[in-house]
């Protein structure tokens, strides 16, 4: 059987500087306020900077404006100024998500993240208030957790949200700003305090001291997938909605969340220059994402001795996948020099993706991306190679015809800066076909 190609194509130099992995754990109230002000100022800009791009399964990306969503995931766009209706199954993504840095952030059991102005718990229900949804209440069973004070550092914030989703235990939990925890039964959240009933007493903790509230995490919770399409709808405030149904008409949005309640906007969402719906990402359509497939092998060859794992739907630091101005829900995070190999089942005809260094690399880092195919007796062959990709550059799209290949290998190699800040992302890596 032909061997999988080695990622190491040249001798590794004897020494190199290695970039740090993480920033500070969290910021105080002043940092949180600064982050909130920054998000408030930047969110409308990010949502409207340039025409949103519509990425299709079998056609070239093009600028398009979303005008409506109808039942059955029929999406209406202005495409080059002309009306066009497309099925969500034919779409990979539209627009760009906005970063959610302010709080509170409510994490629902189906994966949705709601950025709200106010949150309360009373009478066994969660009450939220936001400009989009007005005042809404839902059963606490629909809630996975609440991040009251999101850390300023993006990677730390991402890890905190992931910890909330994966937390285990027998009781509700309070995670405090001083890194202590408390367990019991959550009875109330008001504007000043979080109230917790323990085995021995009722405890009141100042809301300013609580980093996050985790709801009765008896087992790790994975985002359930609906039988049909699931569409991630990003809003201008940074909310990300996992939807199994949605209608957008006359500027009003109504969504049926995965494993969650139905929400309806209280006012039209189309002000003059900043539509509230800024992105769509489609799951369960006509493509299969590599992060949803178990690879057959992974190998990392350190530049010195620091070994890096790969991450599905996260960058190599464990944070969300970010390019210079956008976020991606689907992707692979790798570090040079590394190789990730997959078996190709079902005879897919094409591999599409975009490659970039993660925003966490800043202007640093430099790698070469390569795609290899194993088509049978002739063994592995190189099907695509990028130029040197450096930090700060926009994503580079790629498309590779598979031609009956049996296996696919993704390689990230050193370039001209050793391995410092080589936080390589494969964005929306997907198999199309047959």
Question: Is 27 among the domain residues?
Answer: no
Averaged confidence pLDDT in the chain = 86
Q: Are residues 294 and 428 in the same domain?
A: yes
Question: Is 57 among the domain residues?
Answer: no
Higher pLDDT, 275 or 51: 51
Q: Which of 150, 183, 214 is the last residue of a domain?
A: 214
The H or E element spanning position 315 is: none
pTM of the model: 0.86
Q: Which residues contact 185 (CB under 8 A, 6 or more apart)?
A: 171, 172, 196, 197, 198
| Containing structural domain, residue 195 | 105-214
What mean pLDDT is predicted for residues 249-263? 90
Pair of tokens at residue 408: 């696919």
pLDDT tens, residue by residue, 81-110: 899 999 999 999 999 999 988 889 999 999
Closest CA to 353 of 432, 428, 433: 428
Q: Are residues 427 and 294 in the same domain?
A: yes
Question: Is 75 among the domain residues?
Answer: no
pLDDT exceeds cutoff 70 at 255? yes
pLDDT tens, residue by residue, 334-370: 999 999 999 999 999 999 999 999 999 999 999 999 9
Question: Is 25 among the domain residues?
Answer: no
Question: Is 155 among the domain residues?
Answer: yes
Answer yes or no: are the C-beta atoms of 196 and 174 closer than 8 Å: yes
Omega into 337 within 30° of 0, i.e. cis? yes
Looking up residue 298, the CATH number of its domain turns out to be 2.60.120.1060
What mean pLDDT is predicted for residues 375-401? 94
Q: Are residues 309 and 182 in the same domain?
A: no
Residue 186 confidence (pLDDT): 96
At 297, is the pLDDT very low, low, confident or very high (cuts 50, 70, 90)? very high
Q: Are residues 321 and 191 in the same domain?
A: no
Residue 9 confidence (pLDDT): 41
Looking up residue 118, the CATH number of its domain turns out to be 2.30.30.100
At 322, is the pLDDT very low, low, confident or very high (cuts 50, 70, 90)? very high
Q: Are residues 206 and 292 in the same domain?
A: no
Q: Which of 214, 241, 263 is the last residue of a domain?
A: 214
Q: Are residues 323 and 427 in the same domain?
A: yes
Question: Is 14 among the domain residues?
Answer: no
Residue 112 confidence (pLDDT): 96
Residue 80 confidence (pLDDT): 84
Answer yes or no: are the C-beta atoms of 432 and 349 closer than 8 Å: yes
Number of domains the chain contains:
2
Q: Which of 159, 181, 214 is the last residue of a domain?
A: 214
At 275, is the pLDDT very low, low, confident or very high (cuts 50, 70, 90)? low
- Dist CA 433 CA 383 (whole Å): 18
Q: Are residues 319 and 407 in the same domain?
A: yes
Question: Is 248 among the domain residues?
Answer: no
Q: Are residues 300 and 427 in the same domain?
A: yes
């Amino acid at each position: 059987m032909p061997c999988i190609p080695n990622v190491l194509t040249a001798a590794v130099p004897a020494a190199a500087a290695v970039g740090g992995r993480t920033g500070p754990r969290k910021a105080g109230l002043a940092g949180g306020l600064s982050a909130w002000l920054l998000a408030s100022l930047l969110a409308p800009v990010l949502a409207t900077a340039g025409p949103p791009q519509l990425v299709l399964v079998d056609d070239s990306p093009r600028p398009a404006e979303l005008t409506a969503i109808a039942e059955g995931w029929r999406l209406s766009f202005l495409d080059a100024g002309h009306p066009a209706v497309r099925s969500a199954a034919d779409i990979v993504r539209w627009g760009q998500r906005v970063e959610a840095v302010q709080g509170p952030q409510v994490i629902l059991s189906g994966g949705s993240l709601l950025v709200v102005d106010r949150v309360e718990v009373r009478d066994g229900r969660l009450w939220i208030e936001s400009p989009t949804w007005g005042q809404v209440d839902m059963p606490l069973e629909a809630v996975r957790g609440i991040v009251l004070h999101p850390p300023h550092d993006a990677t730390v914030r991402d890890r905190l949200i992931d910890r909330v989703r994966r937390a285990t235990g027998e009781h509700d939990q309070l995670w405090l700003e001083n890194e202590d925890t408390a367990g019991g039964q959550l009875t109330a959240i008001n504007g000043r305090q979080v109230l917790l009933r323990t085995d021995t007493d009722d405890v009141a903790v100042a809301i300013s001291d609580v980093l996050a509230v985790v709801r009765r995490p008896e087992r790790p919770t994975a985002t359930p997938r609906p039988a049909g399409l699931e569409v991630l709808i990003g809003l201008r405030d940074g909310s990300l909605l996992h939807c199994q149904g949605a209608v957008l008409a006359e500027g009003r949005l109504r969504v049926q969340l995965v494993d969650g309640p139905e929400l309806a906007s209280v006012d039209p969402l189309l002000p003059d220059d900043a539509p509230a719906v800024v992105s769509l990402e489609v799951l369960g359509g006509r493509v299969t994402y590599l992060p949803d497939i178990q690879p057959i092998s992974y190998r990392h060859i350190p530049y010195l001795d620091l070994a890096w794992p790969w991450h599905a739907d996260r960058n190599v630091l464990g944070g969300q996948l970010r390019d210079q101005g956008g976020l991606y829900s689907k992707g692979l995070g790798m570090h040079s020099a590394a190789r990730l190999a997959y078996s190709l089942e079902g005879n897919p005809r094409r591999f599409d993706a975009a490659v970039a260094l993660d925003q966490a690399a800043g202007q640093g880092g430099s790698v070469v991306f390569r795609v290899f195919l194993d088509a049978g007796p002739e063994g592995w062959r190189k099907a695509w190679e990028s130029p040197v990709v450096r930090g700060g550059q926009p994503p580079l799209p790629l498309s590779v015809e598979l031609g009956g290949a049996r296996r696919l290998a993704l390689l990230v190699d050193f370039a001209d800066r050793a391995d410092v800040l080589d936080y390589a992302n494969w964005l929306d890596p997907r198999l199309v076909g047959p």
